[in-house]
Structure 1
Amino acid sequence: MIKALWVTAGCISLGLGILGIVLPLLPTTPFILLASACFMRGSERLHQRLLAHKVMGPIISDWQTSRSIDKRVKNKAYIFIVASFGISIALAPIAWVKALLGIIFVILMVWFVRVPSNCS
């Protein structure tokens, strides 16, 4: 029963992470890492499939082994973060929503800049 809950949580996290690729403000990486952690506890087969994925696998492995992100991945993430927040702020109709998005953007960027990067 517990393993089924971990697998369910992993599937939900993976789904949210995939949605985060196209939806601004929905973070992709944390949900993918959470899915990996859930699958690790609930299904070794699903965890191995996620690690074997050609795009997500190396990112998860880097994070699990060294708590770092490849420099190329990090540079792409900067572009997507700036673009998604820029579009969201430009399209937000209310001033306080724009301000809130700006605050979230600054907090996210301060955290992301501090995440170590490696040069794989």
Structure 2
Amino acid sequence: MSELAPSRVVRAGYLLLGLFFVALGVIGAFLPVMPTTIFIILAAWSFGKSSPRLENWLLNHRFFGPPLRAWRAEGAIPTVAKIVAVISMAGGYALFLWQAHPAPWLAAGVAVLLLACGTYVLSRPAPAAK
């Protein structure tokens, strides 16, 4: 659990941010081009600063809870999530190239950013078997 923000206004901001991240995470659960887990991790962090009840709800959620707890305990990402993330990044990049026809410098910059993100995702351990 995280430490609550010092003022009510700041806590309210974190609460709204957490709700926004949950909404993005739910959208990501249904759209293959949107990530889910990172938004749920950010939501849990936001709720940790604003609402222990909502943070606990996320940590114990049937769908979102296990990857969130694995991330908090071990910095782990499930293998299936890694595969989906990397394939989504590659597909999104291909779509970007096909539809946007970016300048070479922009295409290279996006490629470097996505390669860094993909490398990070793949470098995370898989959750320990229980």
TM exceeding 0.5? yes
Number of equivalent positions? 119
Indicate if the aligned counterparts of 1:6 and 1:42 stay in contact, CA closer than 8 A: yes
Question: AA paired with 1:69?
Answer: I
TM-score relative to the length of structure 1: 0.78
After TM superposition, give the deviation of residue 33 of structure 1 in Å.
0.9
TM-score relative to the length of structure 2: 0.73
After TM superposition, give the deviation of residue 63 of structure 1 in Å.
0.4
Find the structure with the greater CA-based Rg.
2
In the TM superposition, 1:1-120 aligns within 5 A as: 1=8, 2-19=10-27, 22=31, 24=33, 27-96=35-104, 97-118=106-127, 120=129
Question: AA paired with 2:79?
Answer: K
Question: AA paired with 2:117?
Answer: L
In 1, the alpha carbon distance for the partners of 2:120 and 2:89 equals 12
Point out where structure 2 has 5 or more consecutive residues left out of the alignment. 1-7
How big is each residue's C-alpha offset from its partner over 1:44-75, in whole Å with a ceiling of 9 and x where there is no partner? 22112222333321110100111111222222
How big is each residue's C-alpha offset from its partner over 1:59-115, in whole Å with a ceiling of 9 and x where there is no partner? 101001111112222222222222222222222222233222212221112222211
Question: AA paired with 2:111?
Answer: G
CA shift in 2, pair 1:42/1:67, >3 Å: same
In 2, the alpha carbon distance for the partners of 1:17 and 1:85 equals 20
CA shift in 2, pair 1:53/1:84, >3 Å: farther
CA shift in 2, pair 1:58/1:111, >3 Å: same
Secondary structure of residue in 2 paired with 1:117: coil
Point out where structure 1 has 5 or more consecutive residues left out of the alignment. none
After TM superposition, give the deviation of residue 36 of structure 1 in Å.
0.4
